[in-house]
Amino acid sequence: MTSLLNAKKTELHLYGEVKWTKVTENYLNKYIELVSLFFSFVKEGKVKVRIMFQSNADELNETVNIKAGEKYLNFYYQFIKNAFGLKHLTGDKPIYLRIYVDRLPIGSKKRVEFKRKLMNLPGTESFSDSSIAIRNGDVAEVHSHNHVLLQCLDIVLGAMYYRLNDLHLAIPEGQEDRGKRTIAKDKLYSNIIEHINEVMPNFNIYETTDEYDTKVPDCYWNHAYRHWRYMPE
């Protein structure tokens, strides 16, 4: 997958890191081609995408005065713990999990503590029936500049953030219409939604993805694409 995606980038003359913030009218078709290839792997079941988001209304219920770094780590932890249904994976032998996280914008001590917390997931109560195991060294930080899959994910995540926050409606001050870049991003978002609807019919960007399977726990792992609206307790 990565070799094919990197080859596509070269073919499209996209030599640097691709990301949502770089989408412009001139690059729109190139990004559509790259995203289409990425979603071909999603449709084949080779890549599973999970997006976690929080509504501003839900955020009001959360404990106030939480430091930004702690809030970020809490979101990240809850995402990895719950979004993929890992606690439902069982087998006769251990299922070894490797976790690659974005480079964490925190101090070295906090980074070590966070990685240790992730490594200890299999020992938590909610994972008591799971066969998941995480070995020492299997939680690592990566830089998206070196990982084309993360770059493609950034485009998808950026598109969701863009629409969830109504940025597609933005009109520059003093103008009557949306700018060319805004329109280009909106077109790319629409293209992404078309791909998602092929694997998740009637997909709703604003809510947790429905269960399309009678075996409810299985859907969290088996679905090609899911959204999870995080609701703080």
Provide the residue type at 177 as one letter.
Answer: D
Tokens of 66: 């939480």
Q: Is the pLDDT of residue 101 over 90?
A: no
Four-CA torsion 102, 12, 8, 198, nearest 10 degrees? 80
Tokens of 191: 């293209």
| HSE-up (13 A, CA, CB side) for residue 7 | 5
What percent of the chain has pLDDT above 70?
A: 89
Going from N- to C-terminal start, the domains of the chain cover: 2-229
Q: Is the pLDDT of residue 87 over 60?
A: yes
124-171: pLDDT as tens digits: 998 998 999 999 889 998 888 889 999 999 999 999 999 999 999 888
3-state helix, strand, coil in the chain (%, to 5): 50, 10, 40
Which pLDDT does position 17 carry in this prediction? Answer: 93
Taking phi first (over 0 means left), then psi (-120 to 50 degrees means alpha), and beta for anything else, what does residue 202 get? left
Cβ neighbors of 161 (< 8 A, separation 6 or more) are 20, 53, 167
6-41: pLDDT as tens digits: 999 999 999 999 999 999 999 999 999 999 999 999
Bigger pLDDT: 67 vs 54: 54
Tokens of 220: 């969290």
Cβ neighbors of 165 (< 8 A, separation 6 or more) are none
Q: State the chain's mean pLDDT as an integer.
A: 87
pLDDT band at 216 (very low <50, low <70, confident <90, very high): low
Which residue intervals of the chain are DSSP H helices? 2-11, 28-43, 56-59, 68-82, 108-119, 148-164, 180-199, 216-222
Which pLDDT does position 197 carry in this prediction? Answer: 93
Bigger pLDDT: 155 vs 105: 155
Q: Is the pLDDT of residue 57 over 80?
A: no
pLDDT band at 55 (very low <50, low <70, confident <90, very high): low
Which pLDDT does position 97 carry in this prediction? Answer: 92
What percent of the chain has pLDDT above 90?
A: 50
Q: Is the pLDDT of residue 204 over 70?
A: yes
Which pLDDT does position 233 carry in this prediction? Answer: 59
- Strand partners for 139: 99
